Amino acid sequence: MRSIICFSCLALASFASIGDVNAADDLRGLPVLGQERELFLQETTALRGSIGVRTFISRSELRQKLRGGGGATIANYDFTQSDSASAEVFFSLEDDNSGAFLKGAAALGVLSGGDFRERDYDSFTSLSVWDSSSDGGDGTISYANIDAGVHWGDFWGGRVKTTAFAGYQYVNENYVADGLRCNPVQLGVSKCPGALPYPNSRKAYDIDANWHLLRLGLGVDADLGNGLFFQGEAAAIPAGYYDAEATILYQVPALGPAPNVVSDGTGAYGLQAEGILTYDVTENFTIGAGGRYWWFNSGEVPTTYAASTVFPLLKSSKTEVTSERYGVIAEAKYRF
């Protein structure tokens, strides 16, 4: 009996010693011991990203077409050839394991120059009853966007990567017109009946337009070699919301105080595209330059004239607004 007990103790001791060896081997492979910890962190920490600054130098136009309740065009308010410059900050975060990413940007800028033209029409005969021009004044632009997406394909040995994303963008455009000049039409006859002298030192028209946009897009990132990369994206805007407050200052006696024209409604749509060529100055620092294009349309949104008065006019009228912007971008970013 004693020999059996001793044999059992010896067997248990031997098994325990084997278990200790195996456990030691297992522990050396755990991320909390030895050199395996650093390797483990390198393999599981797949989050990387970038942060940078960008400038967008662009030319733009904002065209507004006002229609009466019967659908006839009764006025056009058009800003054209406006120049702008904006300063932008942006970021991106990406998980290499899943291919998911998050990116965003925010910017502030100024608008200047360009031209403004107002043309009014008789709602029954469609004949021109007013035609005036003004100089573009100093306005502002701001925008912000946030997108989430995923890498969905690699080509040419991984040198070209494609992405798909969805997101939201907000754009604010504030256009200003100064002064008033009557445009001679029809054998030199003035088309500003009853207009008083309105010098360029006085603001004639002001609009503050807001776009809330859904973005669905595709992107590409191509390694061109020697530190050069091409990054591009194109986004469709299938849905959006537009609202604006405008003031026709030379018609304040008739239309009331600011804002005297108010528009808002759903149905906005559009498209955006940009491409940029970048160069890796160092492993972590990159510079680049490229181009960008935006086009938005509000659809026909309800519009109220004399909105700040007791008895607003033309509640059944609608405005269709088109915004177009194109220009060059330059950036510098740090990757981590």
**Percent with pLDDT over 90 in the chain:** 64
pLDDT bin (cut points 50, 70, 90) of residue 300 is very high
Quote the CA–CA distance of 101 and 85 in Å, as a whole number.
Answer: 28
DSSP characters over 306-328: STTSSS-EEEEEEEEEEEEEEEE
What's residue 5's pLDDT? Answer: 36
| Dihedral Cα 192, 197, 203, 204, nearest 10 deg | -10
Please write the tens of the pLDDT for every residue from 269-295. Answer: 999 999 999 999 999 999 999 999 999
pLDDT bin (cut points 50, 70, 90) of residue 75 is very high
Please write the tens of the pLDDT for every residue from 259-269. Answer: 989 999 999 99
Tokens of 234: 């194109």
How many CB atoms neighbour CB 196 within 10 A? Answer: 7
Say whether pLDDT at 62 is over 60. yes
CB 91 within 8 A of CB 144: no
End-to-end alpha-carbon separation of the chain, Å?
70
- Burial label, 23 (beta-carbon count in 10 A; 0-12, 13-18, 19+): exposed
What's residue 185's pLDDT? Answer: 66
The residue type at 233:
E
Give the architecture-level CATH label for domain 49-335.
Answer: Beta Barrel (2.40)
Query: What is the dihedral sign for C-alpha 50, 51, 57, 63?
Result: positive
Say whether pLDDT at 61 is over 80. yes
Domain extents for the chain? Answer: 1-45, 49-335
Please write the tens of the pLDDT for every residue from 224-260. Answer: 999 999 999 999 999 999 999 999 988 877 788 889 8
pLDDT bin (cut points 50, 70, 90) of residue 13 is very low
**CA-to-CA dists, residue 9 to 12, 17, 138, 320, angstroms:** 5, 12, 93, 92
Quote the CA–CA distance of 244 and 259 in Å, as a whole number.
Answer: 9
Which of 272, 264, 151, 262 shows the shortest CA–CA distance to 214?
272
Interval 41-69 mean pLDDT: 87
Say whether pLDDT at 68 is over 90. no
Coil, strand or helix at 53: strand
The chain-wide mean pLDDT, for the chain, equals 85
Please write the tens of the pLDDT for every residue from 154-205. Answer: 898 889 999 999 999 999 999 999 998 888 765 455 667 666 668 888 899 9
pTM recorded for the entire structure: 0.84
